[in-house]
Chain A
Amino acid sequence: MLKRMALLSIILIGCATVGEKKEIRPSTSAKPSTETYTDRIISVKVDAIPIKDPNSPVWLGAPLTTLNITPQNIITPKQGKGTIKQIKVRSIYTDSELGILITWKDETKDVYDYSDHFCDKVAVQFPLDNKNLPSFMMGNMGGRVHIVEWKAVWQEDVERGYVDINDIYPNYWTDVYWYVNSGEDSVRLEPPRIEEFKDPEAFKFIPAYAARNSDMKIERSWPVMEYSAEGFGTLTPQHRQDAKGWGIYENGEWKVVIVVPRSASDAYNTQIYDKTSVAFAVWDGSNKDRGSRKGYTMWIPLELRK
């Protein structure tokens, strides 16, 4: 027993070095939870959420919820046949934040978004009004939802720098990238990377950037984005981005952490006191999932265990 506790403490100290400086441990129980559910998510209180460590034993202190994924075949374009059948969810919380760990089997790791290739993604949805639940499918007119999305390509952006065209197509090259190549620099042996775009004029030649598309961020702190929605096709990036997240792929499985503030001053965010509801959507890039071609769950009650 002593040996096991010693081992556990080593693991805990080890995980504390990843992303967070202080030691992170569940305040309720150091033991892995044996509770399993399929119809609710029980969130347990911890001192701090190991955002960047989905393998932290802190997550194991929370009950495991297994949810079946349904192919989105309600509206066009439909997913048809989905490849992700189940996701597994654990949740922990602190005084200020709620964390959700989502894991799912995916034989292919799809990171880049190009041509007919799509990246893997997952999203968590919260209702703004848990007493009057809006449609589980992105809300409805007057029934707003708060959505946090994680994308594999954003994870790459954060970890290794913005995925440049050079990373996807090393030999793609336009003769002149305006306001980038000049003087001696105009004769080059390889195309310039985005880091070399210094002159603000150069960014005028990157249309979505120039148009201030909120999804197009060259500098990104977290691989997640927060949105509001009131029905199909209404997904709108929030001005304030409060959510955090992290994802890793190992052994044919994605493990993604999404963290939201429990009580944000942002009126577009959900406020989480003792309970709320969540719904999930998941995309497999290899299945050419994107947009409404996704797998989803309906609303699942989420309870914060005292």
Chain B
Amino acid sequence: MAKVYNWHLKRKVEYPYEEARPKRQVAWVFDINKCIECQTCTVACKTTWTSGKGQEYMLWNNVETKPYGGYPLGWDINILKMHKEKGNDRTLFEVSPDGEVVLGYLPEDEDYMYPNFGEDVCYGIVEKGAFFNGIHQVWMFYLARICNHCTYPACLAACPRKAIYKRKEDGIVLVDQERCRGYRECVKACPYKKVFFNAFTRVSEKCIACYPLIERGEQPRCVQTCIGKIRLQGFLSHPNNPRPDNPLDYLVYIKKVALPLYPQFGLEPNVYYIPPIHVPKQFLYQMFGGKEMVDRAIKTYLNAKNDRKLLGAMLLFGSTNKIIHRFRVDKNYAYGYDDKGNLISKVPFKEPVYIRPLYDKKRDVYRHSIP
């Protein structure tokens, strides 16, 4: 195997192919503190891409409740357990068994039968009266998931037919629908279980990052439709050359407020999560790269109210359907610009408040409950 640099792990890791980063890497930041699991993203994705034969069970985008939920069932527990047994200080490629490219498992049929398993289920029972005594210790949170369009995709590495490719121009990972023969090595290899086998066409399919939208400068459907405005899609620069005016670079590389999911697997995933602040730290350490990364991200997040630039970057979430390539803030607004420098978003730090009189003389009506 080749040695490639993984900036999440800050070391060279094993991968079957040489390092070949795209010109720019498609990436997302999800602020899961704001997610209410309305599944609007899931439905938007479903109706856009997976309404066909054999796609009935597919959820390229899903939102699951942690700690118990997961689609397919127990995807994270299963791979974490396998990884631990092999020594989780090394990546999934570095602990691959003989005859395999990467450590992985093929979910069983039943694992796909319970997409809502554990939904809204808390970690424990809220004892009687606990809610009168301040913040109770029972927790849960929502984890929105799509394909991570990894820098070192396991699906791509495992495909013996080279039917999976990573686009040079934007790093989107795609399954060639003409070339795939349905071996499901990709399904087995992806630790996030975001490649799905279509039993009708007998080939595998996955999230395509809504590339027809991205190619015309628009963010994917799951981002556009998110009513909680928890998502921002853009492009990451090379990890050695972050641009402070690129909102993705700023949140991920510079402020380090958004963290990759299970970076210890070694795939360099490109969906970055602002960790939920109320969840026990040990749980988050396991998910988002360890104590140092999680503690710093939460501290930075909680301080956002005093950090105009960080707050400004986060205000741009869900403010436009277009892809924001550059941003800036001034005293009153955060501004987002497209790749040509056109202003595409302008969000006030403080929403203006209009107080209307109770009685509208012009229309001769009383306004009781209109904000």
Collect the chain A residues with CB atoms within 8 Å of residue B205's CB.
207
How many angstroms from the CA of A240 to the CA of B104 in the assembled complex?
A: 38
Residue among B54, B176, B199 with the highest chain A CB neighbour number at 10 A: B199
Which residues of the other chain, A, contact B190 by a CB distance below 8 angstroms?
none
Say which residue of A78, A194, A205, A215 sits within 8 Å of B202 (CB atoms): A215
The reply on A77 being an interface residue by CB < 8 A is yes
Cβ-defined contact, A168 with B199, below 8 A? yes
Partner among A206, A208, A232 whose Cβ is within 8 Å of the Cβ of B178? A208
Of the stretches A122-130, A182-190, A255-263, A285-293, the one at the interface is A285-293
Chain A minimum-CB-distance residue to B50:
A174
Judging by beta carbons under 8 Å apart, are A290 and B183 in contact? yes
A165 on interface, CB distance cutoff 8 Å: yes
Q: Is the CB of B185 within 8 A of A213?
A: no
- Answer whether A77 and B199 are a contact pair too, CB < 8 Å, given A208-B177, A288-B106: no
The number of chain B residues with a CB under 8 A from chain A is: 38
Judge whether A80 and B99 touch: CB under 8 Å. Answer: yes
Q: Please determine whether A73 and B202 come into contact, CB atoms closer than 8 angstroms.
A: no
The reply to whether B106 and A116 form a contact with Cβ atoms under 8 Å apart is yes
Nearest CB in chain B: distance from A140 CB, A:
16
Tell me, in angstroms, the Cα distance from A208 to B181 when the chains sit together.
10
Q: Which of A151-192 contact B (CB under 8 A)?
A: 153, 164-165, 168-169, 172-178
Segment with Cβ contacts to A, from B5-13, B24-32, B155-163, B219-227? B155-163
Given contacts A77-B99, A115-B109, contact A291 B201 (CB under 8 A): no
Q: How distant is the Cα of A168 from the Cα of B220 in the complex, in angstroms?
A: 32
- Chain B: CB-nearest residue to A178: B51
Interface of B is mostly: loop
Give the Cβ gap from A202 to chain B, nearest Cβ, in Å: 9
Q: Is there an interface contact between A113 and B54, defined as CB atoms closer than 8 Å?
A: no
User: For residue B176, which residue of chain A has the nearest CB?
Assistant: A211
Q: Does any Cβ of A come within 8 Å of B182's Cβ?
A: yes
B231 interface hit (Cβ, 8 Å): no
Q: Does A212 make an interface contact (CB < 8 A)?
A: yes
- Inter-subunit contact A216/B201 (CB<8 Å): yes
- Interface members, chain A 197-244 (any B CB < 8 Å): 205-216, 232-233, 235
- CB neighbours (8 Å) of A80 from chain B are 99
- Are A115 and B107 CB-contacts (below 8 A) given A208-B177, A290-B184? yes
Q: Are B199 and A115 in contact (CB under 8 A)?
A: yes
Q: Which residues of B contact A232 (CB under 8 A)?
A: 160
In the complex, whether A76 has a CB less than 8 A from a CB of chain B is yes
Cα distance, A206 to B203, chains bound together (Å): 11
Which B88-103 residues sit within 8 Å CB-CB of chain A? 98-101
Do A209 and B201 have beta carbons less than 8 Å apart?
yes
